[in-house]
Amino acid sequence: MTHADAKQPQSLHIAPLGGVGEIGMNMMLFRYGEDYLIVDSGIRFPDTTMTGVEVILPNLSILAAIQDKIRAIILTHGHEDHIGAIRLMAQRLDLRKTPILGTAFTLALLRRRLAEEGLAAEMNLEQIRPGDTADLNPFKATFIRVTHSIPDCVAVCLETPIGRVIHTGDFKIDRNPLDGERFDEDSLRALGDEGIDLLLSDSTNASVPGWTRSEEEVAIGLEEQIAPWKGRVIVSLFSSNLYRIHSLFKIAQRNNRILCLLGRSVHQYVEVGRQTIGLELPKETDLVDVKQLHHVPRHQQLLVCTGSQAEPRSVLARASRGEHRNLSFSEDDLVLMSCRKIPGNERRIHRMINDILRAGATCVFGKQAPIHASGHARQDELKRMLELTRPKCFIPVHGEYSFLVDHANLAKEVGVEQIKIIEDGSVISLSPQGITEIAQEQVEPFFHDGNNLGTSEELCLAEKKRLAWNGVAVVDVTIDPTRGLFLGLNVETRGLFNDEGRLCKEIEDAVGAQMSGQISDMDTEELKRYAAMLVRREFRNRTRRKPVTLVQVQAGK
Ligand SMILES: [Zn+2]
Ligand SMILES: [Zn+2]
C-alpha cells in the first residue's frame, strides 16, 4: 500500500440534519475525509403549539463548525422544504464561496428569495442541467431528470472514492409530463448497470399502493368540472405547481374563459417559470387583473388563487371570511380545491369550506374528483426506482417514521441486500462492506421568528409557552433599606384573570403577612427570590397556575 493510499479515508459518512423521520426541512450531509457536501437545505413550518415561530430549519451550529469544508450545496428542486433555509443559513454562515448548484428554475426561485434579503449578488449560484456532471473534489455529481409537482427537478448521483450513491430528491414517475421533460429511466438504469452502492429515496407516499395520477389526468378532471359550469370558477392550488397553472391556462382558452391570478406567490412562480422553463404559461396580456375583473362576465372568469391549506393570510381564506377586497363568494361560484389536506391543517380548511358553502357556492375537493395528483411516487413507482438502480444498500428518506418502514419493506420485497431505517441525527458509514450506523448526534433544529434566528433556548421558546399558559405576575416590593424593614407589596398580572384585582389583593395580603419581619438579613437578590417564591406559591394554591414572576425591589419610607 502506498503512502497516499494509507491516508485515504475508508468510508463515506452520510448524516441527515432534517427530513428523515419527519416531513419537511430536508438536508443531507455527506462527508469524505475532511470534505463535506450538502444535498438540499429546506425549512419546515411549525404546528399550532409553537408560539412565535415562523419557520424551522436544520441546526446551523453543526454547519458553522464545518463551513470552510463544505465543497457544495446541491439543490434537487425548488420547493421550500428543499431550498427555504439557504437565505437564513446565509445569516449565520459565510456561504459566499460555497457553490450552490441547481437547475435554472430552482436557482431563479432561490435568487428571488435571496434578493429580498439583499443577498443575491454575494452568492455563488451555479446552474446545472440534467445530464451534467459537476466536479466537486472529491465528489463528482451527475444530475438526472426526475418528475415531481414543480418543474425542473433532478436526482443526484454522487461518485466518491468509496462508491456511488443516488439521492432521488422528491419524485414521481409522470410518463407524460406536460413540459415534455421526461423522467429519465434510461440514465438511472445505466447507472444501475454500472453499480449503485447506496440509494436514498423519497418515502412520502411509501404507504400508498399503486401509481400516482399524472398531471395530464388532473387536467382532464379539472376540465370536466369547469366546462359545464355556468357561473364563475375558482381554483385553489399549491402555487408552485406550474403544470397545473399551465393546464388551467389551456382549459380557459378552450372554454372561452379568461384567467385571473390572485395571490403574490402565484404571480411570482408564473413569472419565474416564464423566464426559465419550456412550459407554456400565461403572459400578462393573457390575464385579467383582479381590479378589472368586474368587466368580465362571471361565466367567463377562471380564478386561480392561493389558500388551498387555508393559510390565514391567503386569498381564499380572507375571501371566505369576507375580508378580501376583490373576492367574495356567491351561488354561481364553483370552488375547486385542487390539493390535498396536509395533516394538521384539516380543521382550519374545514372551517374555511364551511364559510364558502354558507355563502352559497359549490365546492369540490381533490378527494371527490380527479382534480389533484400527488407529487410523490407511490409503491409501484418506488419499486420501479429500486429496480432501475438495483442498489446494494438502501436508506429510505423524506418521510415520517412509518413511511420509512413501509419503504424499507418494499426494498426488502425487491431483494435489496442491506436496508437501514434511520432518523435525523444518525451518522451512517458507507464502506465496501456496506452501511453501518456509527453515531447518533443531537441535531436540535433552529428557529426563525420572523426577525430573529436561533436555537429554542436563544428564542426562549419554552418561556414563551410558559408565558402563554401561565401568564405573568409583576411584583413591586417596597422596603426601608436602612432599617431592613418590609413596607408593602403590589402585585399585577397579565394573561391570568380579569377579576378587578381581587386575586392580586388576596396574594398581596397573604405574601405581605409572610414577609413582614423576615427580610432583615436578606440582600436584594435574596429578597427578590424569596418574594417570587411566595407569590408563585400563593398563585398556585389559588389558581393551580404558577405565573412567570418578575420582582422589583424599591426603597420607601
Ligand atoms: Zn418537493
Ligand atoms: Zn420535499
Residue 7 has pLDDT above 80, yes or no: no
Q: Which ligand is nearest to the CA of 153?
A: 1
Report d(CA 543, CA 555) in Å as an integer: 30
Residue 3 has pLDDT above 60, yes or no: no
Cα dihedral across residues 223, 225, 228, 229: positive or negative: negative
Which of 482, 471, 491 is closest to 531 using CA atoms? Answer: 491
Higher pLDDT, 120 or 223: 223
Q: What is the pLDDT of residue 485?
A: 86
Q: What is the pLDDT of residue 51?
A: 80
Q: How far is the CA of 170 from the centre of ligand 1 (A)?
A: 5
Q: Among all chains, which residue has been given the C-alpha cell 454522487?
A: 158
Give the cell for residue 195: 453499480
Q: How far is the CA of 174 from the centre of ligand 1 (A)?
A: 14
CB 123 within 8 A of CB 91: no
Q: How far is the CA of 105 from the centre of ligand 1 (A)?
A: 13
Question: Which one-letter amino acid corresponds to residue 185?
Answer: E
Q: Please tell me the total number of residues recorded for the chain in this structure.
A: 557
Count of alpha carbons within 13 angstroms of residue 161, beta-carbon side: 12
Which of 93, 17, 20 is closest to 58 using CA atoms? Answer: 17
**SS3 state at 453:** strand
Work out the average pLDDT over 442-448. Answer: 94
Q: How far is the CA of 296 from the centre of ligand 2 (A)?
A: 38
Q: Which ligand is nearest to the CA of 171?
A: 1
Q: How far is the CA of 45 from the centre of ligand 2 (A)?
A: 13
Q: What is the pLDDT of residue 272?
A: 97
Work out the average pLDDT over 277-305. Answer: 96
Residue 289 has pLDDT above 90, yes or no: yes
Work out the average pLDDT over 428-434. Answer: 96
Q: Which ligand is nearest to the CA of 25?
A: 2
In Å, what is the CA distance from 400 to each residue of 34, 72, 276, 284?
A: 31, 27, 33, 41
Q: How far is the CA of 82 from the centre of ligand 2 (A)?
A: 6
Burial class from Cβ neighbours inside 10 Å (0-12, 13-18, 19+) for residue 199 reads buried
Work out the average pLDDT over 9-16. Answer: 94
Buried b (16+ CB within 10 A) or exposed e, 3-16: eeeeeebebbbbbb
Segments in 359-396 forming alpha helices (H): 379-389
Q: How far is the CA of 398 from the centre of ligand 2 (A)?
A: 7
Q: How far is the CA of 406 from the centre of ligand 1 (A)?
A: 20
Residue 2 has pLDDT above 60, yes or no: no
Q: How far is the CA of 339 from the centre of ligand 2 (A)?
A: 16
**pLDDT band, very low/low/confident/very high, at 1 (cuts 50, 70, 90):** very low
Q: How far is the CA of 331 from the centre of ligand 2 (A)?
A: 37
Within 10 angstroms of residue 357's Cβ, the number of other Cβ atoms is: 14
Report d(CA 437, CA 36) in Å as an integer: 18
Report d(CA 56, CA 38) in Å as an integer: 18
Q: How far is the CA of 309 from the centre of ligand 2 (A)?
A: 17
Q: How far is the CA of 244 from the centre of ligand 1 (A)?
A: 15
Work out the average pLDDT over 196-218. Answer: 97
Contacts of residues 185-192 at CB distance under 8 Å and 24 or more positions apart, as own/partner, are 185/384, 185/388, 187/131, 187/144, 187/145, 188/144, 188/155, 188/385, 188/388, 188/389, 189/388, 189/389, 191/142, 191/144, 191/157, 191/164, 191/166, 191/389, 192/388, 192/389, 192/390, 192/391
Q: How far is the CA of 20 from the centre of ligand 1 (A)?
A: 14
Work out the average pLDDT over 450-479. Answer: 91
Report d(CA 492, CA 514) in Å as an integer: 18
Within 10 angstroms of residue 557's Cβ, the number of other Cβ atoms is: 9
Give the bridge partners for 30, in sequence order.
14, 37
Q: How far is the CA of 33 from the centre of ligand 1 (A)?
A: 30
Report d(CA 483, CA 197) in Å as an integer: 80
Q: Which ligand is nearest to the CA of 20?
A: 2
Give the bridge partners for 155, in sequence order.
144
The 3-class secondary structure across 473-524, one letter per residue, is EEEEEEEECCCCEEEEEEEEEECCCCCCCHHHHHHHHHHHHHHCCCCCCCCH
Which residues have C-beta within 8 Å of that of residue 484, sequence separation ≥ 6? 519, 520, 521
Residue 556 has pLDDT above 90, yes or no: no
Q: How far is the CA of 514 from the centre of ligand 2 (A)?
A: 59
Cis peptide before 99 (omega within 30 of 0): no
Q: How far is the CA of 81 from the centre of ligand 2 (A)?
A: 5
Residue 500 has pLDDT above 70, yes or no: yes
Segments in 414-476 forming alpha helices (H): 461-470
CB 80 within 8 A of CB 448: no
Q: How far is the CA of 197 from the centre of ligand 1 (A)?
A: 24
Q: How far is the CA of 187 from the centre of ligand 2 (A)?
A: 22
Count of alpha carbons within 13 angstroms of residue 223, beta-carbon side: 17
Q: Which H or E run contains 232?
A: strand 232-236
Q: Among all chains, which residue has been given the C-alpha cell 382534480?
A: 371
DSSP state of 42: -
CB 394 within 8 A of CB 411: yes
Q: What is the pLDDT of residue 484?
A: 79
Report d(CA 375, CA 214) in Å as an integer: 9
Q: Which ligand is nearest to the CA of 375?
A: 1
**SS3 state at 147:** strand
**pLDDT band, very low/low/confident/very high, at 137 (cuts 50, 70, 90):** very high
Work out the average pLDDT over 301-310. Answer: 94
Give the cell for residue 43: 425549512
Report d(CA 426, CA 21) in Å as an integer: 11
Give the bridge partners for 456, in sequence order.
none
Q: What whole-number percentage of the chain has pLDDT above 70?
A: 99
- Lowest-confidence pick of 64-78, 349-363, 396-410, 517-531: 517-531
Average pLDDT value for the chain: 94
